[in-house]
A and B are shown apart, each in its own frame.
Chain A
């Protein structure tokens, strides 16, 4: 990706988005963000876990829209790469049945400097939560229910508009 801000200009952007049932190894993912160019000065990552809520939740089911979930996240990554001079970006989102304590999502970006890495990682996660077609259903002793979308999630994505994040 040629970037007007400079230091990623002669290194092709490395990106990969995975939507799958399989668990992931954070160490392997982080190494993948190092492109071999030696230009990475910063890697920022986010890991989301299945959290126990107050209702005795046993597990959750993550549903996705095959094809669209991946392309929607790829579009979010592309937006981040236009805003910040990234070297690599990777997103993994799990689907299917997940239990408390399990990893559910991972976002990682590398860049020359920390400001871009921090901002791009948060931007990708905020937009993923607000826009990627994924739905959580919680299963507990009493039965099951779909998680309701939170206004705070769409607000977090909205605040990036009209703000270059730097």
Chain B
């Protein structure tokens, strides 16, 4: 099972803070997970999740490029950060 979490503007635009996905070999990279999520809600999530500046993290570490995703991982999508 994958745990998917969203934060800030991404969370609000999707109307979803987290969900679980059954993991299989077709979800072995973050690009594949993102594409799968883009197809959810009749494709309505695509616009939010395909924003160029979206940040992706696997197990609470930001990843660049098409990082590996394994069963039981936590995958996060969030906008550029604005703390401090």
Produce 1/0 per residue, A123-166, CB < 8 A to B: 00100111111111100000000111110010000000000000
Q: Of all chain B residues, which has the CB nearest A144?
A: B12
Q: Is the interface of A mostly helix, strand, loop or mixed?
A: mixed
Q: How far, in whole Å, are A101 and B80 apart by their CA atoms in the complex?
A: 25
Within 8 A of A (CB), among B11-36: none
* Contact pick for B7, options A63, A72, A93, A136, CB 8 Å: A63
Q: How far, in whole Å, are A97 and B58 apart by their CA atoms in the complex?
A: 28
Identify which of A68, A93, A137, A153 gathers the most chain B CB atoms within 10 Å of its CB: A68
Q: How far, in whole Å, are A149 and B80 apart by their CA atoms in the complex?
A: 6
Known contacts A65-B7, A146-B8: A134-B83 contact under CB 8 Å: yes
Q: How many residues of B contact A (CB 8 A)?
A: 18
Closest chain-B Cβ to A51's Cβ sits at a distance in Å of 12
Q: How far, in whole Å, are A93 and B83 apart by their CA atoms in the complex?
A: 9
A-B pairs, 5 with minimum CB distance:
A134-B83, A149-B80, A135-B8, A129-B84, A68-B60
B interface with A by C-beta (< 8 Å):
5, 7-9, 53, 55, 57, 60-62, 76, 78-84
What are 10 inter-chain pairs, A to B, with CB distance below 8 A?
A65-B5, A65-B76, A125-B84, A128-B83, A129-B81, A135-B8, A135-B78, A135-B81, A146-B9, A148-B80
A interface with B by C-beta (< 8 Å):
48, 62-65, 67-69, 71-72, 93, 104-105, 125, 128-137, 146-150, 153
